[in-house]
Chain A
Amino acid sequence: MLARLASSRNAGLAALAAVVALLPLALVNNYYYDIAILAGLNAIVCVGLNLLIGYAGQISLGHAGFFGLGAYGSAILTARYGWPPLAALLAATLAVALLALAIGRPILRLRGHYLAMATLGMGVIISIVIATEDRYTGGPDGMSVPPLTLAGVALAGERVWYWVVGVLLVLAVWLARNLIDSPHGRALRALHGSEVAAEVGGIDSARHKVRVFVISAVYAAVAGSLAAHYAGFITPAKVTFFHSIELVTMVVFGGMASTFGAVVGAAVLTTLPQALTVFKEYEMVVFGAVMMLTMIFMPKGLVPTLAALAARRGKSP
């Protein structure tokens, strides 16, 4: 029993929960809380995206589109039509899931760079529609979003939001890790290795790819919806191609096929630009250099490389 609790799977989750629980000790003011919340929301998207990229081996350069649809879906339903926020969140997420289901099948037939292009195109189309339909979305200026209310109580303040996002992140990681160890997860890893071999082994690869695509889209939509409510304001900047690239970068930077890698990648790359503001006009140069050097010297990403290093240390005392 104890051995099972201490197995790496649960230990990782417990460690994450402990970090989330203890982090407020280091967060001295609301600015730090704000960064932690943004990192947490990014981490939720990345955990979902990592299922698609890291485990199933299918790239997506359009996930900011799903994030944006979740955000704007919630914003429009609550601000323009007076829906209760929770219902709006669910409706927006459901709509994104259906959209992902509809376009997943034709898009996921494509391979490699063609898949990258198709998902990129999808994301760009979504962002152009959002920026252009200003009657609903406020166009490039963005729109304000009412606060999230739970059972009549409005969630306000960084401290309350921190716990909401923290609990959801732990939940998201728990779900993802269960999924990876399920038959569906094993099928994904099989088709990552070789799609033809997986199909010969009796795996309906199209069905599994579409399913994980929908799941990752749902992760992004929920995080988008929460981000809109938290900030109280949303602009098309969060829906652009660059945001999609940022999300993929977080996943790869932290370590593909590592759920905690996705979390660490999101945390590091959300915090880094804030820390680099001391470099003033050199900020972009330093950020680009850090990205390049990390990927050159740790091509598998931060977490897997460090884990391998720690394991080697442990073996040879």
Chain B
Amino acid sequence: MSAQFLQFLLAGLTVGAIYALVALGFSIIYNASHVINFAQGEFVMIGGMCTVWLANAGWPLPLAIAAAVLLAALLGLALAKLAVEPARGASVVTLIIITIGASILLRGLATIVWDKKYHALKPFSGEMPIHIGGATLLPQSLWVLGVTLVVVLLLSWFFGRTLLGKALLATSHNRLAAQLVGISVRRVLLVAFGLSAALGAVAGILIAPITFTSWDVGVMLGLKGFAAAVLGGMGSGPGAVVGGLALGIIEAMGAGYLSSAYKDALAFVIILAVLFFMPSGLLGQRSADRV
């Protein structure tokens, strides 16, 4: 019983860490621009697909990974520069529709450049399962959890200690005030999109050996990442991590103990319940209206 529980918990944490990375991407872009970037899931797809493609072409894995992350970051910059920036001043819903258009475009490009098949990436360090207290853990899960931890630490250093990170935070609090003290809001936007795209790609590469990757994996992962970001409180970094892990664990427990068909439904029921009682998510700030 407790071994089973541990097994579900480990599975939930692994998936939850991926959700957390995607959710962090949503939150960073939201902070910099108040846009919900519905193309976020496509960066996850591009990370996985590009790595598989380069690895199959004979590139060493670390090099393939670096190239995939770089490609995603460049596409993120292009999205900010060519689509979001020219539409500055448009309503938030319009900006959201632009990112939906971008996600369709990127998916279409992926089917042309790559293909519509499912691909598996080889695990980074073997497939020998590790036994812990009666439960088994794939080495790849350790990679997922470890890299996520490192990324979260790096991000908290970036936002807490560097000038650029603080500029990003300042912009999220008050755009005009940030501009007045000399922060280049345009550069902040570019950094946010590049950073988020890179985070998404990292998530896509980490999960590819466990769940396969294909041109359309980004849709569901993007949706879950958004759900995690909202569950934790949109725009909150710790919220994104907590929301992601919570969502992963809820899903794993729901699938294990209740019904695998209803695991996604259960996750959304819990999110709705949380929102009904905490309308700003778990760690979100209460917002006040200015009339």
**What residues of chain B have their CB less than 8 Å away from a CB belonging to chain A?**
30, 36, 38, 83, 86-87, 89-94, 97-98, 100-109, 111-112, 219, 223, 226-227, 230, 234, 261-262, 264-265, 268-269, 271-272, 275-276, 279-281, 287, 289, 291
Contact = CB atoms under 8 A, between A and B. Distances in A.
- Number of chain A interface residues as a range: 35 or more
A114 B230 contact: yes
Interface string A242-255: 10010011001100
B93 A125 contact: no
Interface stretch (A9-17, A20-28, A164-172, A287-295): A287-295
A-B interface, 10 closest residue pairs, ranked by CB to CB distance from nearest: A284-B108, A288-B105, A291-B101, A299-B90, A288-B104, A285-B108, A292-B101, A121-B268, A117-B230, A128-B265
Given A125-B265, A252-B97, A296-B98, 15 more contacts: A111-B287, A114-B281, A120-B227, A132-B261, A132-B262, A197-B291, A248-B93, A249-B97, A285-B112, A288-B101, A288-B102, A291-B100, A295-B94, A296-B83, A296-B87
Contact of A285 (B93, B105, B275): B105
B97 A281 contact: no
B240 to A, nearest CB: 13
A122 interface: yes
Nearest to A195: B289
A196 B289 contact: yes
B93 A106 contact: no
A46 B193 CA distance: 31
Contact of A295 (B90, B105, B106, B280): B90
Nearest to A253: B97
Given A117-B226, A121-B271, A122-B272, A59 B109 contact: no
A110 B108 contact: no
A299 B91 contact: yes
Max count, chain A CB within 10 A of own CB: residue among B97, B112, B226, B234: B97
A128 B264 contact: yes
A207 interface: no
The majority secondary structure among interface residues of chain B is helix
A295 B269 CA distance: 33
A256 B93 contact: yes
A116 interface: yes
A194 interface: yes
A111 B279 contact: yes
A276 to B, nearest CB: 11
Nearest to B280: A114
Contacts of B111: 281, 284
Interface in A115-140: 116-118, 120-122, 124-125, 128-129, 132
User: Which of B36, B89, B227, B275 counts the most chain A CB atoms within 10 A?
Assistant: B275
A113 interface: yes
Contacts of B109: 285
A31 interface: no
Contacts of A284: 104-105, 107-108, 111
Given A114-B230, A285-B109, A288-B106, A128 B90 contact: no
Nearest to B230: A117
Contacts of B98: 291-292, 295-296
Nearest to B270: A121
Contacts of A59: 93
A109 interface: yes
15 contacts: A113-B234, A114-B230, A117-B230, A118-B275, A121-B268, A124-B223, A241-B223, A256-B91, A282-B112, A287-B104, A288-B105, A291-B104, A295-B90, A299-B94, A300-B94
Interface string A53-89: 1000001000000000000000000000000000000
